[in-house]
Amino acid sequence: MALLVSLAVAFRRGPTTVTAFSIATLGTRATVAASRAASSSVSATPRAFVTYQFRKASPPASSITALHASTLAVSDLEKALDVTHPAFDVVERDVVTEYGAYCTVYRHKKSGAELLSVSVDDDNKVFGITFRTPPDDSTGVPHILEHSVLCGSRKYTTKDPFVFLLQSSLQTFLNAFTYPDRTCYVVASQNTKDFYNLINVYADAVYHPRAIEDPMVHAQEGWHLELEDKNDPLTYKGVVYNEMKGVYSSPDSLLMRESQRTLFPDNTYGVDSGGDPTVIPNLSFEQFADFHAKFYHPGNSRIYFYGDDDVYKRLELMDEYLSEFDASPESKPASEINWQRKSYDEPHRTTYPYPAGADQPETHMVQTNWLLNDEPMSDTDELALNFLDHLLMGTTSSILRKTLTESGLGDAITGGGLSDELLQATFSVGLKGVQPANVEKVETLIIETLEKAAEEGFTEDAIDATMNTIEFQLREFNTGSFPKGLSFMLGSMSKWIYDNGPTDALKFEKPLAELKAKIAESGSEIFQDMIKDLLLKNTHRSTVEMTPSKTLESEQLKEEQDRLAAIKAGLSEEELEEIIAKTVELKKLQAADDTPEDKATIPRLELEDLDRKVTEYPIAISKNENDSGVTVIRHELTSTSGIAYVNFGIDLSSIPLENVPLLSIFGRLTKEAGAGDYDDVALSRAIGTHTGGINVALLTSPVTPAGADESAVSDGTKMVTKLVIKGKATSDKTDKLFDLYRLILTDAKLDSQKKVIEMLRESRSRLEAGIQGSGHQFANTRMNARYSVAGYLNEKMGGITYLNTVKQLLKQAEEDWPSLLARLEKIRSTILDEKLCRDGMFVDITGDKKVLETIQSSVEDFLSELPGDSDGDKLPDFYREDHPWIAQAKKEMKEMAPIMDEGFVVPTQVSYVGKGGKLYEEGEKVPGSAAVVSRFLRTGYLWDNVRVIGGAYGGFCTFSPSSGYFSYLSYRDPNLAKTLDVYDQAADALMAAADELEKDPDALATAIIGAVGDLDSALSPDQKGWTAFERYLVNESPEFRQQYRDEILNTTPDDFRAFAERLRNMKDPSVAVISSKGGFDDAAKKGKVMTLTEVV
């Protein structure tokens, strides 16, 4: 089902390889509360075991009302269907009634381009252009082109308009991504002027990029040979080249790529559109330019608009670009995706190595994969397939996932089940952390489990839970901070890109009704038949075994060095001089500033276009409601579609610090192990049947001390710590939601040794994979632990230290289970202390007026039935007194987190380089201008020098005003020592930039606008409520938020100088780097010596 695909993408589900463009856009949207409390964290259970509470669940369809109370009259939206333009033919008019979307498909008369115009009552407007771009090799040409087209164009002549937009717009989404068969360019903004600025830059970029005429762009973004001295060895450099070296260092990524390759031997899906690092250097500039000429004609594009802006203006704007092109009848046929036929007479097996660390256990990864269809499926069958996927894999109690997890044959699930974003659907599942002797047993167990499901079918309650979960997901259409319009686009594109109608892909009422009718008639028979036909009888199956190699990393490095040495040996003196000259030329180009004339070509906002007032969200606080001893917080919104979003929290401060690392496992057990009369399966089904999902998370957050200056750095000793149960339900089911909250809080089954061992093994595997694939995050957490108590606690609960703790807990669970069980039970008895627990409880509810009125009696019942004495003892005032964990944490910090330069060795072809320290001391005031300056540094100097010149996939910085902590970070970086040198020169660069800004008020305004954009994200209803709650929790006042915004708006060049001076004088800076042994050896030769630790 296409819309389920788009929602899955919003939550990053599914094994399909999608290569994102810009690491710089990650994490740029945050509330002031989040930025002020950057050390705070809400740590949920790992995604693989979250039940997709946000895959949804709900009672009957009627319980979820219309999407929202429209501020636009229906008649106004209907008028959008009547809009015509002389340059376009109307192909189809349609209304997606499920979402109040009024859609018109147009075809541009001259160029043949198709355009889908969606009019909805949503001010977060979205524009996208998608091209069908099937590669025939693994040179990564679609991916490199995706990077390159945004590096200047005919109208917008700066070196990198994309970065200028990052710096200067109010965008709520700005990115591009490469699928195996298509490339998407997407922008979104709530500001109409800004929205059309973004569209103009993107449209000119894709149709008229500088890259196809300037080989230097291909060299920078793709690959090039680099040489600065004849006596030096040749090296490969390039952003995509290094990005993909990072990808190919990840065992999980290698497994998915090999699995896809084995299922698609005959069509484009069998090659890597992202690029194989060993093949990327085969791509010539001529091939690169030809690929654009072949696939980037408007006739091969699908253009998309979504939002509340004027339809005629959409058409008028696009006609300006499309009218230059004549029709190209060959464009679409040339990009058509061929079907991969089910051609295997018997299942295939293949073995492939993955890089393993010196101390890493020699375990294998095993995954079985199926190509499900080689002809189109009906909408009803596609929806049924999604239901089957949920029944098999969607929750921890789903039969295939549960059986594999509990088998003891491996540490964690791989594959994720169904992937249906492409022309053909696949199904993949397996295990990692498998002993060699158990490899064949994994495949056997998968088949036997499917045979059992095909024979016995699924129980009525399992089907009801799945029905409710998916129907809730479809009706709520909650994409979080991901623009709804983008999910809508991806849903339509999953059909439209293959020459089917775009709007049918967005409708679910008819296929859902048909599926319900089939289930009513024959129960689970439809799913049993699917298992037999699509899986058990399907011989187009592959099993991929990944074997550990402790020498693979060194072998790959030697292979690259030998290849480059051979190339150099075959070059003449003149050719070597030419490479040196091109290296110099490229670096000179990269380091050069854009001219004022080039900068002037980029459309921009003015400071006058900004809203100077902070957006506030409703909040009403009722302390000791109904004499319950519990604080109830309510957020009344205009409409939440009949859904109540409810968060229930209980205090954790009485837990001794030595048990804090157990809280994550404790939280998972409360929801995944069963409770009361429910075993784990029954509990999961009850959640799925009656709610929109339940999740259990840890919340730890420093707070502003009572009476303190909110702009000053705090000492971090005042903090709140909560276990939070988060969930949602339609208002007529809220009583069930509260019943489940109470049950898992008080009566969860903590005594399953097997379940705890499974969770700890999965956690170990997830952390190891995270350190290899997202090393910058772990480096940052490690550094922050040296400077603040809150940072140390985050490291203890989720960093490299936590990995070591998980290994110790696993040993205890296996060898001394009674002791570990006693610790878990002690956690529960402590947080439910009869005399104390009520004082630390809160209920946070987001809903519209009708929802809040409807559920009030359920709230009252819940409060009256909670454990604890409503008039019991009081907790300390954590806004005035030190948190109980603080004293012990400070003692541990001295031993466990001394300020030192550390390197963590993992098998990888890239590095993640961090350097950080304190810019502000306790009590010093941090002005809002710091947000402008740190952002300017991230999107300017660091982007240019770490990414563009250095070739890393990402280079950025973080700054926490609440703690004064600042860090530099790089992502998938080919350098280590050079990157540290770049960091050390940042203060001088920032000081020079301040002088330039003095002369260029427009550039200063640009920096300010981008920082304001970071404050004003588009939020879903539940996010609005949670944002208001977080602001309340950290003790942040509306007056401070306005002051902070005003300080941002009033930033001056002197603020840049003051920040630069602090960078120069950073107190006790230190380094944390994730890299290979070879990377550290090379850095040591250049004077960058660190204390090394083998991690993976």
Q: Are strands 412-419 and 426-434 parallel, antiparallel or unpaired?
A: antiparallel
81 burial (CB, 10 Å; 0-12 / 13-18 / 19+) is middle
Q: Which residues are paired to 902 by β-bridges?
A: 1072, 1091
Alpha-carbon distances of 937 from 865, 990, 991, rounded to whole Å? 53, 7, 11
Alpha-carbon distances of 10 from 44, 173, 331, 479, 1019, rounded to whole Å? 17, 12, 30, 6, 14
Q: Distance (Å, rounded) from C-alpha 96 to C-alpha 511?
A: 14
Alpha helices in 344-503 (DSSP H): 379-389, 399-406, 439-456, 460-476, 484-496
221 is catalytic: yes
Q: Distance (Å, rounded) from C-alpha 1083 to C-alpha 1089?
A: 7
| Residues shown for the chain | 1096
Q: Distance (Å, rounded) from C-alpha 1078 to C-alpha 265?
A: 36
Alpha-carbon distances of 187 from 127, 172, 486, 818, rounded to whole Å? 5, 8, 9, 55
Show the 3-state SS of 1017-1040: CCCCHHHHHHHHHHHHHCCCCHHH
Task: Please answer whether residues 159 and 591 qualify as being in contact, where contact means their C-beta atoms are separated by less than 8 angstroms.
Answer: no
1087 burial (CB, 10 Å; 0-12 / 13-18 / 19+) is exposed
146 is catalytic: yes
Q: Distance (Å, rounded) from C-alpha 972 to C-alpha 245?
A: 8
Residue appearing with tokens 């009476």: 707
Q: Distance (Å, rounded) from C-alpha 618 to C-alpha 849?
A: 12
Q: Taking Cα atoms as reference points, which of 1030, 1021, 1057 lies closest to residue 479? A: 1021
Write down the catalytic residue from 114, 221, 226, 768. 221
Could you tell me where the beta strands, DSSP code E, fall in 182-294? Answer: 182-189, 224-226, 235-237
Alpha-carbon distances of 543 from 253, 259, 269, rounded to whole Å? 16, 8, 17
Q: Distance (Å, rounded) from C-alpha 476 to C-alpha 469?
A: 11
Q: Taking Cα atoms as reference points, which of 2, 796, 836 lies closest to residue 385? A: 2
Q: Distance (Å, rounded) from C-alpha 746 to C-alpha 794?
A: 27
User: Quick one: which H or E segment has residue 206?
Assistant: helix 192-207
Write down the catalytic residue from 78, 92, 98, 146. 146
Q: Taking Cα atoms as reference points, which of 785, 801, 967, 965 lies closest to residue 893? A: 785
Tell me which residues are annotated as active site: 146, 221
